[in-house]
Amino acid sequence: MGILIRNLVTASQCTAALRKFPKKIMSRRLNASRTEGVDKNVWVEFTQMAAEYNPVNLGQGFPDFAPPQYIQDAFCEALRGGPSMHQYTRAFGHPRLVNSLAKFFTGIVGHHIDPMEDVLVTVGAYQALYCAFQALVDEGDEVIIVEPFFDCYQPMVKMVGGKGVYIPLRPKVEGGDGAMSSGDWVLSADELASKFTPRTKAIVINTPNNPMGKVYKREELQVIADLCIKHDVLCFSDEVYEWLTYDGAKHVKIASLPGMWERTVTVGSAGKTFSATGWKVGWAIGAGRLLKHMKTIHQNSVYHCATAAQEAVARGFERELELFGSSKSYFRQLPATVNRKREKLAMCLESVGLKPIMPQGGYFMITDISSVEVDLNDPSTKDESYDFRFVKWLIKEKGLATIPVSAFFSPEHGKDFDKYIRFCFIKEDSTLDAAEAILRKWNTPHDV
């Protein structure tokens, strides 16, 4: 009771103080300027909506099925592996994990990877990207970003005071029926060359690309590599979907091209690799002289990542190294499974009159919705772009969640792509069936 009264007195004193000095207490600017203009986030917004309306969720990019049994077992074994598994490990990556990543990727990159110098383990690919921008891009630097792009590149450039310079992939053939494969969307070599200036510090590429599913061919990467070398520019290569390619498309690492190891930071994700996005284990691989600066950011922010999760991912890579190329490898099984889902979703979208762009990689498919007639009369969304309004309507009225594609473009180019939505197809067949049932309720292709 005594405590209660004391607290009551304190609270009333506080209220009196607030009345007396309202401006003094509240007028000070709270946020650092780097938070301005980056406060909106498509994932926060649409994850919240999905929680509220409980739609069939083909929105955010994660599997709704369990990771392979062996990797789940590896995590359980790691947890039972003694006291050290529950304590801090090496800041820049658990020794077993950096060793297994270095061993695994040395053969693929074709360059010796030093586990202690050339690898940094991060909180998902997100933090690897964050460290790259923070450590290697300075105020006033320009960063070339290929559109459509994973949305976080833009705020990350902005937060370091850099300037995003955007270049969209464009369909090889303009007009007509439109390009139907992500491979038909290309960079113009001349346009790309025109984006390099003396201020350019880095280019960001994402292959296989989210949201379009483009897998860059070696020749396409060579054009980018030649420009990077000519202008002495870094390349941040986001390759989180590297194992997910289809129709014979081959993932090529730009770091493996001549002259590129020294200037490329390759970003990967155990979340995407082992279908365990909630573990949030990612990594950056690159020359020690680059990684050294990323480690500085890492050690002064996150310091190190969860030990047991890293141990489990290490065990996963050790197994995959043994089975590499065999039919037992998860890196072969996963794309085969996901390919069936890709085809199922494409057939479903086509059957209701939509024209998806067939992805050669990743686990997203985008489709044009301009032929769909729908009355978007929700006044609460009237100032938003067409695709945002459409997706909100689809969630609320039809119970199906997708993601608006203009979120993957700069504001300058978003307007040209506001008639596309993105579906995620790494979902249980039952989830895809439920989505199909909703889509089939469309009485005609042009009337939802």
Strands 400-401 and 56-57: parallel
24-63 mask for ligand PMP (x: CB under 6 A)?
A: -------------------------------------x--
Q: Is 219 exposed, middle or buried, given 0-12, 13-18 or 19+ CB atoms closer than 10 A? A: exposed
143-162 mask for ligand PMP (x: CB under 6 A)?
A: -------x------------
Q: Which residue is nearest to ligand PMP (CB)?
A: 124
Helix (H) or strand (E) holding 401: strand 400-401
Least distance CB 398 / ligand PMP (angstroms): 24
User: Does residue 275 touch ligand PMP according to CB under 6 A?
Assistant: no
- Residue with smaller CB distance to ligand PMP, 124 or 162: 124
User: Does residue 93 touch ligand PMP according to CB under 6 A?
Assistant: no
Least distance CB 359 / ligand PMP (angstroms): 13
Least distance CB 216 / ligand PMP (angstroms): 13
Q: Residues 6 or more apart from 346 whose CB is under 8 A from it?
A: 356, 358, 365
User: Does residue 125 touch ligand PMP according to CB under 6 A?
Assistant: yes
Least distance CB 271 / ligand PMP (angstroms): 4
User: Does residue 238 touch ligand PMP according to CB under 6 A?
Assistant: yes
User: Does residue 360 touch ligand PMP according to CB under 6 A?
Assistant: no
CA angle 114, 120, 123 (to 5 degrees): 155
Q: How many CB atoms lie within 10 A of CB 402?
A: 27
Listed in sequence order, the DSSP H helices in 358-428 are 386-393, 411-414
- Residue with smaller CB distance to ligand PMP, 125 or 221: 125
Could you give the CA distance from residue 253 to residue 266 in angstroms, rounded to a whole number?
A: 8
Residue 255 CA, distance from chain mean position: 19
User: Does residue 126 touch ligand PMP according to CB under 6 A?
Assistant: yes
- Residue with smaller CB distance to ligand PMP, 105 or 126: 126
Distance from the first to the final alpha carbon of the chain = 62
Least distance CB 56 / ligand PMP (angstroms): 19
Q: Which stretch binds ligand PMP (CB under 6 A): 118-126, 166-174, 197-205, 421-429?
A: 118-126
Listed in sequence order, the DSSP H helices in 121-160 are 124-136, 153-159
- Residue with smaller CB distance to ligand PMP, 36 or 64: 64
Structure tokens at 199: 């201020």
Residue 170, beta-bridge partner list: 186
Strands 200-206 and 142-147: parallel
- Residue with smaller CB distance to ligand PMP, 127 or 439: 127
- Residue with smaller CB distance to ligand PMP, 126 or 261: 126
- Residue with smaller CB distance to ligand PMP, 291 or 439: 291
Report which of 289, 330, 290, 285 is spatially closest to residue 93, judged by C-alpha positions.
285
Instruction: Candidates 89, 134, 269, 402: give the one binding ligand PMP (CB under 6 A).
Output: 269
User: Does residue 261 touch ligand PMP according to CB under 6 A?
Assistant: no
Q: Which stretch binds ligand PMP (CB under 6 A): 2-10, 124-132, 350-358, 412-420?
A: 124-132
Could you give the CA distance from residue 443 to residue 448 in angstroms, rounded to a whole number?
A: 7
DSSP letter, residue 408? G
Instruction: Candidates 168, 282, 286, 356: give the one binding ligand PMP (CB under 6 A).
Output: 282
Helix (H) or strand (E) holding 56: strand 56-57
DSSP letter, residue 394? I
With contact defined as beta carbons under 8 Å apart, do 241 and 208 qualify?
A: yes
Residue 57, beta-bridge partner list: 401
* Count of residues near ligand PMP by CB under 6 A: 13
User: Does residue 426 touch ligand PMP according to CB under 6 A?
Assistant: no
Structure tokens at 318: 């050790």
164 phi and psi angles, rounded to 5 deg: -75, 130
- Residue with smaller CB distance to ligand PMP, 129 or 352: 129
Instruction: Candidates 57, 100, 182, 210: give the one binding ligand PMP (CB under 6 A).
Output: 210
Least distance CB 208 / ligand PMP (angstroms): 8
Site for ligand PMP, rule CB under 6 A: 61, 124-126, 150, 206, 210, 238, 240, 269, 271, 277, 282
